[in-house]
Structure 1
Amino acid sequence: MQRLFAGTPFDRPPVCERCAALETACVCPAPSSTPFRLDPRTQTATLRKEKRANGKWVSLVCGLDPQGNDLSALLSRLKTRCSSGGTFKEGRIELQGDHLETIRAELTAIGYRVKG
């Protein structure tokens, strides 16, 4: 009798991605479930605004460590608070429009020090 998943990945026993041993025989340390995050009170965010070539203003948040912060979640929070679009480019957060005071208030509420 032939098995239903014979020859597929579901037929094989699970193996460790790091050492390629069977999961039951693996001795690798368990990966950390929580990523490393820096305390916002120890960081300073620099705010500024730029006028782009098409005459539109863009608010920038610079100076935050991409590895020590969840910048995509922070961008999402700031976009919601400012009711505008935005993106993460070259290690900085860019929001469409002049929203420096709203961004300053939100970052201060989170615990960041703000400059600019």
Structure 2
Amino acid sequence: MDLQDQLKNLFPDHEFQEEQTPQKSEKNIWMQEEPLLCKYEKRKGKAQTIIAGYTGADEDFKKLAKELKTTLSVGGSFKNDEIIIQGDYRDKIMELLKNKGFRVKRVGG
């Protein structure tokens, strides 16, 4: 006997209605014509990948930053309209952004 059967025995007059959970609808991130710039820098002796050049809303760029960080399982931040990812992940980031539909330009070595 599962929980629903037990509840039906306790409350025979009650009509059970299954709750509908609203599905999350992910907002589309604004795509731009100009390419995003993906560059590599060393700051304080540590390797960092920087993504800049997004002209859309800051909230969309922050969502993109969070998605990149969780996908790559790395740390990073969003400052001064740039996504800063800890480590050299240019190739992986460029591939992920191209799969999302962004144009990406590699800057530097």
TM-score by structure 2 length?
Answer: 0.65
Structure 2 unaligned regions, length at least 5: 1-26
RCO higher in structure (CA 8 A, sep ≥6): 2
Q: Tell me if 1:115 matches 2:105.
A: yes
Alpha-carbon shift at residue 66 of structure 1 (Å): 4.3
Alpha-carbon shift at residue 69 of structure 1 (Å): 6.3
The structure richer in helix per residue is 2
Q: 1:69/1:114 Cα in 2 relative to 1: closer, same or farther (>3 Å)?
A: farther
Identical aligned pairs, as a percentage?
Answer: 32
Alpha-carbon shift at residue 43 of structure 1 (Å): 3.6
Q: 1:101/1:90 Cα in 2 relative to 1: closer, same or farther (>3 Å)?
A: same
Please tell me the root mean square deviation across aligned C-alpha atoms, in Å: 2.2
Alignment deviations for residues 55-92 of structure 1 (CA, whole Å, 9 cap, x no partner):
11010001002427601110111101221001001111
Displacement over 4 Å in runs of 4+: none
Question: How many residue pairs get matched?
Answer: 80
Alpha-carbon shift at residue 39 of structure 1 (Å): 2.5
Q: 2:81 aligns with which of 83, 91, 96?
A: 91
Q: 1:75/1:106 Cα in 2 relative to 1: closer, same or farther (>3 Å)?
A: same
